[in-house]
Structure 1
């Protein structure tokens, strides 16, 4: 039976990947909690809620995805959980409140881990069902500062209620928390540098993502729809155990590639156009993030290749610049210079190079930054500046390199370049002496892309 992409099921090519890496261990999660608590006063506590189910429509929920900060500290995968950290508590510093075991509900929605499972399988010192949250005031009595995500309304309401109950007991000697502090920034600093086990998961997410982009190149044909290439990409993700994209897949053919966060993915792909795909797999909650731009029919035109090679050269120089001690600002500045020089050479800008950079004339064609952090979130957490200065790269940080050019369909633009959008993006981990490209498994040189696409049509 024909698939949506016009191929028979037997013709869909899905190469085998190596088995996925081992999940993060209980010991590593415990070490992360210990690192966080080591930065806190002994008379403090952490309240960190997990994610909740969100209704899609009527009685149907969106697929559940755990909150990244919560996952980072305990790995517990169920909704409606609460992590409580109590530095120095002799009876146990790591506590979890979670859904109770309930055979009747489990018959409908699946087996729950329950408090015993949270201790046994997730390394909690103690765990309780959610009905026991009324005991939180007793647990937090005498804790002077509560660390919690201040932007989380649920966490704030919980903390306010606990403080009010303790304040009501003040005449009996109860000590209520005197202040709330945002815990998010502390967790985000921990998340910025990846461990070896995290990097193993990210390499696997990148490998799956790369294979999916190769699949989309093979499946591209004039007359197919953007959503059919999206289907190829996301089928490949799921086939290899990445059950969800790390973000909304972007497939933009022709001028749609000039919309940075294009999401409709519903246009027909035209012969002679380029198509830009920005897509990444999420494996065990860690993100891949790749962008490739290629000709729908498998062959670049002369103008497309000229513009493409400008972006490719800028991307290659930026990837080579990744090393400890440099900054994202420095990498971006180099990309701006390379792209501006290329625009001048092609006649899309006029004037002197330095003047075009100073006046930001290039911003008509290059609107975004070159890099962002990558990890549990596709735009991962961690400050880009320290004490007002650009942050120096350190081994274990993971970033994207993604220059692009987006040429408007305007009368003052040479006709051959109008409506072309090109972005090339790779994921790079900072190493002791440079950078490791995690996403090298998908081609980006124009000749290599054409060769891959030609082989699929042979």
Structure 2
């Protein structure tokens, strides 16, 4: 995969002077790495990858995490990995790719292609608007990736060579256009991969049931927050804020746009504009 992102530089960015480049890329101490622990459910993710491997013997299996989406100029929406990637890995950053590479003796070798630790001897740590440490903070890095997910981590720049070493495989397409392009010559039942992953996710394991119950409990608390805040809520937007605070502070986010529909808006099934007023005596 080409590591150069066309959005890494803006059109008005100038090439830094050579003296500045030399100064800013030398003399750095190695940053202290935080202690990393395996994610909750790492064994479950490993078992899911093993089950997927058994379903596609002899085939390369490629599952991307997805790409960051631009919100405005050099800012992006908060990233959410593709659901199937999340199911198999547990977490994810943009542009990561899970690959199950078939072994000659059977089975697969699982690898996660990710961004390596920042190299402060390269200028992109402060010139790259998309992935530079100066712009978006430190990367997880390969060592932490391996520890956190219980999987071998390789630089994403090696992905192209891995894919091109095979002529048969399945790809979760439509998630990352660059991966689709790299794997355009792979022959295999791509739709079967998508279908099989969906069927795997239908049956929830113990951890998933716990997480679903936690989401239910937090949702109930969020509704109670709305009831408590209602005397001060003059608009649907106020209601939305009361609900969202619980979702963001104790969870990750809302699962979909909050429907805060008052008055005549309450008869609209998916009212999510939340632009109306909340009036006493009207349905919310």
**Within 5 A, what are the aligned runs for 1:274-285?**
274-275=283-284
Which residue is 1:71 aligned to?
A: 86
Instruction: Determine the C-alpha separation between the residues in 1 that align with 2:176 and 2:114.
Output: 19
Which residue is 1:136 aligned to?
A: 162
Which residue is 1:47 aligned to?
A: 62
Conserved? CA contact 1:222–1:270, under 8 Å: no
Q: Secondary structure at the match of 1:221?
A: helix
| 1:140 Cα deviation after fit | 2.3
Which residue is 1:235 aligned to?
A: 245
| 1:129 Cα deviation after fit | 1.2
Which residue is 2:281 aligned to?
A: 272
| 1:272 Cα deviation after fit | 1.5
When the two chains are superposed, the root-mean-square deviation of aligned CA atoms in Å is: 2.2
Which residue is 1:108 aligned to?
A: 135
Which residue is 1:35 aligned to?
A: 51
CA 1:137–1:68 in structure 2 vs 1: closer, same or farther (change >3 Å)?
closer
Instruction: Determine the C-alpha separation between the residues in 2 that align with 1:25 and 1:77.
Output: 14
TM-score w.r.t. the length of structure 2 is 0.75
Equivalent in 137, 156, 159 of residue 180 of structure 2 = 156
Equivalent in 255, 260, 270 of residue 269 of structure 2 = 260
Which residue is 1:25 aligned to?
A: 41
**Within 5 A, what are the aligned runs for 1:305-454?**
none
Which residue is 2:145 aligned to?
A: 118
Instruction: Determine the C-alpha separation between the residues in 2 that align with 1:266 and 1:78.
Output: 34
CA 1:208–1:92 in structure 2 vs 1: closer, same or farther (change >3 Å)?
same
Unaligned segments of structure 1, at least 5 residues? 1-21, 164-176, 276-458
Q: How many aligned residue pairs are there?
A: 233
TM-score w.r.t. the length of structure 1 is 0.48
| 1:250 Cα deviation after fit | 0.5
Unaligned segments of structure 2, at least 5 residues? 1-37, 126-131
Which residue is 1:394 aligned to?
A: none
Instruction: Determine the C-alpha separation between the residues in 2 that align with 1:262 and 1:120.
Output: 43
Greater share of strand: 1
Instruction: Determine the C-alpha separation between the residues in 2 that align with 1:86 and 1:209.
Output: 41
In our comparison, the structure showing a higher alpha carbon Rg is: 1
